[in-house]
Amino acid sequence: MSRIFSGVQPTGDLHLGNYLGAIRNFVGLQDDFECLYCVVDMHAITVWQDPELLAPHTREVAAAFLASGIDPTDSIIFNQSQVTAHAELAWVFNCVARMGWLNRMTQFKEKAGKHRENASIGLYVYPNLMAADILAYKATHVPVGEDQKQHLELTRDIAIKFNNDFGAEFFPVVEPLIFGEATRVMSLRDGTKKMSKSDPSEYSRINLTDGADDIAGKIRKAKTDPGELPGTESLTEDGRHIDAEIERTRPEAFNLLSIYAALSGQTIAATLDQFAGSQFSSFKGELVDLSVSKLGPIGAEMQRLMAAPDHVDQILHDGANRAAAIAAPVIKEVHKIVGFLGA
């Protein structure tokens, strides 16, 4: 049986990359699969979070899930810390994963930066907790943006090593689901950098709660180049993707075009065809209109939901109970397999 799991950190300022790379894809999967969508507050505290803001930020992610169209009566929406299975399984995985594997994680290197010795141990073992999130439910498919690919490789390695070490065909080897026309949304200020919450410039990203004026201002100021917009000659032979070499020469242009394609629900090929030879100024006008019409209602609904915290908290609480019921027998079986007395 297939089961979907994915998570989003409540670190504030959800942005267009989170939406196009992940949350929007969560919505469509609900019709065909059992889905668990988790606000990963335990992951968030691997770097400092103001305790006053963690709960509101947790509600913000839940509100984004709901406002984007995730149905809480169908899918399970919850926050990680309310289900103890995540921490319990993460400990077992800390004993399965190897230092050498974690040393290769590029996200740790990026986040720890030059101050590696000062990074939390939590940040280092972050991918083990991520594996526990997924495997506590024996999830088989994980929709994410491209930046999470390496972490999912590690989840696969952990599942395989656990199964081998204990001679049990227990955990599934998960498949990443990385799809859509914008699996890696780049900064609006620098097309070679990922759009990210940690970028100090507000103009680098569109936040999901931005109003129409902010969206318009950020798109109008977005970096471009002096050329006209490229056309379908920039595609790979199969006509479905932008050629990586060509993309490298004009990263800002292709980022904006990919955003347009993803928001409009049309292919990148159709988008290139539509705007080939246009000036950036007219294209940006169209992108503003499209972005405001697609993101405006989501932002407004998020604001409405965040103003009713009890309602959102109840959804997270109910979701946590449903999630815990799925994870409990898995954890029990893990204890038995490992040999803990009392299982």
84 burial class (0-12, 13-18, 19+ CB within 10 angstroms)? middle
159 vs 156: CA distance, rounded Å: 5
Counting Cβ atoms within 10 Å, is residue 227 exposed (0-12), middle (13-18) or buried (19+)?
Answer: exposed
C-beta closer to ligand TYM: residue 18 or 82: 18
Given the complex with ligand TYM, which of 206 and 315 has the nearer CB atom? 206
255 binds ligand TYM (CB under 6 A): no
Task: Assign residue 214 a region (left: φ > 0; alpha: ψ between -120 and 50; beta: otherwise).
Answer: alpha
Nearest to 280 by CA among 226, 216, 208: 226
Note whether 8 and 40 are within 8 A (CB).
yes
d(CA 252, CA 235): 16
Task: Kindly list the catalytic residues.
Answer: 111, 194, 197
Displacement of CA 101 from its chain's centroid (Å): 22
Does position 147 interact with ligand TYM (CB under 6 A)? The reply is yes
Q: How far is the CB of 227 from ligand TYM (least distance, A)?
A: 24
| Interaction residues for ligand TYM, span 296-325 (CB under 6 A) | none
Strand-pairing partners, residue 175, are 141
- Name 176's bridge partners: 142
Compute the least distance from the CB of residue 195 to ligand TYM, in Å: 4
Interface mask (CB under 6 A) for ligand TYM, residues 195-234, using x and -? x---------------------------------------
DSSP 8-state secondary structure symbol assigned to residue 341: T
Give the binding range for ligand TYM (CB under 6 A) out of 182-190, 211-219, 258-266, 287-295: 182-190
Question: Can residue 180 be called a binding residue for ligand TYM (CB under 6 A)?
Answer: no
Q: Is 57 within 8 Å of 10 (Cβ atoms)?
A: yes
Among 39, 92, 142, 269, binds ligand TYM (CB under 6 A): 142
Selected binder of ligand TYM within 3, 82, 83, 133 (CB under 6 A) = 133
Give 250-266 as a DSSP string.
SHHHHHHHHHHHHHHT-
Nearer to ligand TYM, 8 or 216 (CB): 8
The residue type found at 329 is P
Binding string to ligand TYM for residues 81 to 120, with x set by CB under 6 A, is what? ----------------------------------------
**From candidates 67, 89, 185, 229, binder to ligand TYM by CB under 6 A:** 185
Distance CA 135, CA 142 (A): 11
Q: Between 223 and 311, whose beta carbon lies closer to ligand TYM?
A: 223
CB of 67 to ligand TYM, least distance (A): 16
Query: Positive or negative CA dihedral for 289, 206, 42, 21?
Result: positive
Please give the residues from 4 up to 63 whose contact with ligand TYM meets the rule CB under 6 A: 5-9, 17-18, 21-22, 40, 43
* Shortest-Cβ-distance residue relative to ligand TYM: 21
**CB of 21 or CB of 230, closer to ligand TYM:** 21
Give the relative orientation of helices 51-68 and 309-338 as an angle to the nearest 10 degrees.
Answer: 100
Tell me the one-letter amino acid at 297. P
What's the farthest any 2 CA atoms get from each other in the chain? Answer: 70
Size of the site for ligand TYM (CB under 6 A): 25
User: Which residues sit at the interface with ligand TYM, rule CB under 6 A?
Assistant: 5-9, 17-18, 21-22, 40, 43, 130, 133-134, 142, 144-145, 147-148, 151, 183-185, 194-195
